Amino acid sequence: MILVTGGAGFIGTNFVLDWIASVGEPVLNLDKLTYAGNLENLASLAGDARHRFVQGDIGDTALVGRLLAENEVRAVVNFAAESHVDRSIHGPAAFVETNVVGTFGLLEAVRAYWGALPAERKSAFRFLHVSTDEVYGSLDAQAPAFTEQHRYEPNSPYSASKAASDHLVRAYHHTYGLPVVTTNCSNNYGPFHFPEKLIPLMIVNALAGKPLPVYGDGQQVRDWLYVGDHCSAIRRVLEAGQLGETYNVGGWNEKPNLEIVRTVCALLDEKRPRVDGKSYAEQIAYVTDRPGHDRRYAIDARKIERELGWKPAETFDTGIRKTVEWYLDHADWVARVQSGAYREWLSTNYGERESA
């Protein structure tokens, strides 16, 4: 059995569903169920003995230690994290608590469990830490993409907290010999994405006839990775990644935010036209930029392709089409996750931004 932390969130959900479908090995799913954790995401696994869910905190070392021992876990895949830059600007404490202190507690529990394993199981054990390209900071327009050797220069409370967690994972390998591997991914998109992030927010707002808020000039560049591709990369790294190594996972899709928004609008124009016949692009509204907004991220994913034979299966065109279609087909899911707390957050983050 493997332990997946944060397995009711966006990427964790997709990984659990992908793992059960493609590998079939039982999953112990530990999630705190904060605002972005949603058990409804895993409804298709109801009654499936291969999936066991436990609500809990990765920082609860006693709980994690008990779960590891009782279930004879052979690997841990750590998705658990606070992950939204805007939320980290408004409330950084939660990011330090979960991403730094929580990761420390998880590492301590895993170290104690791993240290007591018989030699054969000990050598086969793995701890895979899922991180982000944001730890590397921001790139100039013509600068080479981030490689695994790029120095850490985090610019937001979120990315700083993830950088700290990466350093802790690295330290536990070098100090204690804990068998770790780390992945640093680019911007994920796809099914079950909580609608505070760019792509699902644009879809939801467009369909509701609301403004589509674009920060600044909309020319901030990101590399976009379809979440299904990310899941296959993690499976491959868990299977064959070298201990102590980091693998950058990207989609080879560098695009400015404004282009992403216009692409979403064009797909909605095609699949769910506005009643008045106009384009959803007319709803685009430029708003005051995010404080300290990184201008460009770009992932050089050649190492994982060269050493492990992985590369993304989806192009951005195929992935974004699948994503828009998923949201159109799952309007009930979208409606249920848009709780009062979600609406309050949108008001807090966007209500104070003046039109640019």
* pLDDT at residue 348, rounded to an integer: 58
d(CA 345, CA 300): 34
pLDDT tens digit string along 209-255? 999 999 999 999 999 999 999 999 999 999 999 999 999 999 999 99
* Coil, strand or helix at 63: helix
- Tell me how far the alpha carbon of residue 33 is from its chain's centroid: 15
Two structure tokens written together for 284 = 């685009």
Two structure tokens written together for 163 = 């950088």
Closest listed residue to residue 234, CA positions, set 110, 77, 340, 119:
77
pLDDT tens digit string along 37-72? 888 999 999 999 999 999 999 999 999 999 999 999
Give the active site residues: 133-134, 158
Region 148-175: mean pLDDT is 96
DSSP symbol at 6: T
Instruction: Name the region of 24 (left: φ>0; alpha: ψ -120 to 50; beta: rest).
Output: left
* Coil, strand or helix at 13: helix
Residue 232: partners with Cβ closer than 8 Å, 6 or more residues away? 18, 310, 313
Residue 123 has pLDDT above 70, yes or no: yes
**Cα four-point dihedral sign 192, 98, 312, 263:** positive
Closest listed residue to residue 178, CA positions, set 118, 240, 115, 130:
115
Residue 326 has pLDDT above 90, yes or no: yes
Q: Which pLDDT band holds residue 273 (cuts at 50, 70, 90)? A: very high
Contact predicate 353/289, CB 8 Å: no
Closest listed residue to residue 52, CA positions, set 71, 76, 77:
71
* pLDDT at residue 344, rounded to an integer: 54
Domains and CATH numbers, the chain: 2-193+223-253+295-315 (3.40.50.720)
Angstrom CA distances, 289 to 37, 213, 353, stand at 27, 10, 8
Type of residue found at 45: L
pLDDT tens digit string along 329-356? 999 999 888 864 544 534 554 454 454 4
* pLDDT at residue 90, rounded to an integer: 80
* pLDDT at residue 346, rounded to an integer: 40
In 3-state terms the chain splits into helix, strand, coil percentages (rounded to 5) of: 50, 15, 35
- Residues forming beta bridges with residue 52, ordered by sequence position: 28
Contact predicate 69/93, CB 8 Å: no
Taking the CA atoms of residue 23, residue 25, residue 30 and residue 34 in that order, the dihedral angle to the nearest 10 degrees is 30
**Cα four-point dihedral sign 32, 36, 38, 41:** negative
* Coil, strand or helix at 35: coil
